[in-house]
Amino acid sequence: MKTINHWIGGKPVEGVSGHHGPVYDPATGAQTKQVALASAAEADAAVAAAKEAYATWGTSSLATRTAILFRYRELIDAHREEIAALITAEHGKVHADALGEVARGLEIVELACGIPQQLKGELSTQVSTRVDVAAIRQPLGVVAGITPFNFPAMVPLWMFPMAIACGNTFVLKPSEKVPSAALRLAELAAEAGLPDGVLNIVNGEREAVDRILAHPDVAAVSFVGSTPIARHVHTTGTANGKRVQALGGAKNHMLVLPDADLDLAADSAINAAYGSAGERCMAISVVVAVGATADPLIEKIKERAAALRIGPGQDPASEMGPLITKAHRDKVASYVTGAAAQGADVVIDGTGHTVPGHENGHWIGVSLLDHVTPDMDAYREEIFGPVLSVVRVDTYDDAIALMNASPWGNGTAIFTRDGGAARRFQLEAEAGMVGINVPIPVPVGYHSFGGWKDSLFGDHHIYGNDGVHFYTRGKVITTRWPDPADSGINLGFPRNH
Ligand code: NAD
């Protein structure tokens, strides 16, 4: 069976711990590979390689860095299909969706190619007589990234291209469930000319993460994953003196007002709730139907859901693939049965879905729950599967109050033709990313991505200008060149004149 190893100092490295974890094909349920699971020793080796590389990379010219990033951009572009196939083989999402993920990740490499523009400093001349002030931003040193299973390529690409463009070196700990895409990205970076040790990968689980969080040579940590682990990473990392941005889970609401285009709203609800089998942090999991919209909207969602094709991600006819693990499939199904027991109407029950010829795959069909109320588990918890809940409310004010009471605040959307209502919503929504007739408002690379409340711990969103700020620290330099007029003893606090 193929073993996925670590990538340290520019080459594959076998684990010393001897521990391995299984990697499955979710469409068949079969184990296809094993992945090395790092102990503290492998995490230490990766940090040491990154520290050594920082000695030269940290002071390398912008021309050197961008030449490598431009070549890297071309290589990822040329290998889109291959990376997407690796994603589908381990995650299960359909090939077109995997290609979309690669494209959105590539946006950040393209942003990083323009890093000289974003790293330009500031200069103020003559702030005081014969005194100038310059402000520059410098890298932090060794920084780390810890990423979730649901975007094996895109989320790592949210992090390391910006970090290394800013002059840092990087240790990535990808999800142990989907390790191959990140490893391929590291190989391509080496092919693009990235010096050994600038980008390292340690595969593993909690042990590797906890060593990274404790390591004195790691200056900052970017994390994307579930809320409980995001909170743990933020608390532990900051207690250890590190800069931390930790993006967590979500429960994204989509408000549909009575004047909305209901066909557009139904299409959007289907795409955003069931795309990638609901395993997206920007998935819509709650439709808040305002006034009399619920019945006609549910009819339209039902019609569309009946036509969805569920099957292996490699099959071009499939629109939705399996879930990541058997255990996750069973957990998602339990929310549907639990919602029925708690009084919701199960309009579509996907729990019994099977795919002929793939009986052991982690399959579940799409589910639609109506008359969901905020006390039900299906409403209160992040299901992370193809389950869409409809909550009925009377007014816009009821809808916004319901949504803003949620502990999460990642993305949200409103469907309406009323500009005034949309404007109110964009100001009143307690979420980091808002869509107006756009169900998955993932910002483009040059605008930062991030949520509010329990969807993000830390002060910085990821990529965009926030990414540059997160991966650099400011320095302000005050300069005066010797002039006889400035000599003399003066013990007073320096004043500008
Ligand atoms: P997860 O939190 O289980 O794992 C994320 C990472 O943390 C993985 O690398 C994993 O190995 C590591 N990890 C797991 N348990 C750990 C522990 N006890 N201690 C230390 N590290 C640990 O998340 P997941 O299941 O891989 O991904 C799905 C979750 O990620 C969902 O909640 C989803 O909403 C969230 N997510 C959020 C965003 C966002 O931008 N906010 C994006 C993608 C996914």
Dump pLDDT digits (tens) for 272-311. 999 999 999 999 999 999 999 999 999 999 999 999 999 9
Describe the strand order of the beta sheet including 169-173 as a list of residue ranges: 11-13, 6-8, 199-201, 169-173, 142-146, 218-224, 243-247, 456-457
Q: What is the pLDDT of residue 413?
A: 98
- C-alpha 226 to ligand 1 mean position (Å): 4
Q: Is the pLDDT score of 61 beyond 90?
A: yes
Amino acid identity for residue 310 in this structure: I
244 and 349 assigned to the same domain: no
Q: What is the pLDDT of residue 210?
A: 97
Domain-embedded: residue 67: yes
297 and 190 assigned to the same domain: no
Q: Is the pLDDT score of 392 beyond 90?
A: yes
Q: Which residue has 């900052």 as its token pair?
A: 220
Q: What is the pLDDT of residue 382?
A: 98
Amino acid identity for residue 319 in this structure: E
User: Tens digits of per-residue pLDDT, 453-489?
Assistant: 999 999 999 999 999 999 999 999 999 999 999 889 9
Domain-embedded: residue 494: no
Q: Is the pLDDT score of 35 beyond 90?
A: yes
54 and 82 assigned to the same domain: yes
40 and 82 assigned to the same domain: yes
What three-state secondary structure class fits 281? coil
- Mean pLDDT of the region 151-179: 98
Counted domains in the chain: 2
Answer whether 0.95 is exceeded by the pTM.
yes
Probe residue for ligand 1, chosen from 149, 151, 285, 455 as the CB with the greatest number of ligand atoms within 8 Å = 149
- Mean pLDDT of the region 72-93: 98
Share of the chain above pLDDT 70, in %: 100
Q: Is the pLDDT score of 268 beyond 90?
A: yes
Q: What is the pLDDT of residue 12?
A: 97
- Mean pLDDT of the region 5-26: 96
310 and 261 assigned to the same domain: yes
Residue 174 CA: nearest ligand 1 atom is: 9
Q: Is the pLDDT score of 258 beyond 90?
A: yes
Residues noted as catalytic: 281
350: containing domain: 252-436
- DSSP symbol at 275: G
- C-alpha 490 to ligand 1 mean position (Å): 57
pLDDT mean across residues, the chain: 98
CATH number where 394 lies: 3.40.309.10
73 and 148 assigned to the same domain: yes
Q: What is the pLDDT of residue 66?
A: 98
Q: What is the pLDDT of residue 17?
A: 85
- Mean pLDDT of the region 130-139: 98
- Write the CB contacts of 219 (distance below 8 Å, at least 6 apart in sequence): 140, 141, 142, 143, 168, 242, 243
The response to whether residue 173 sits with its C-beta less than 6 Å from ligand 1 reads yes
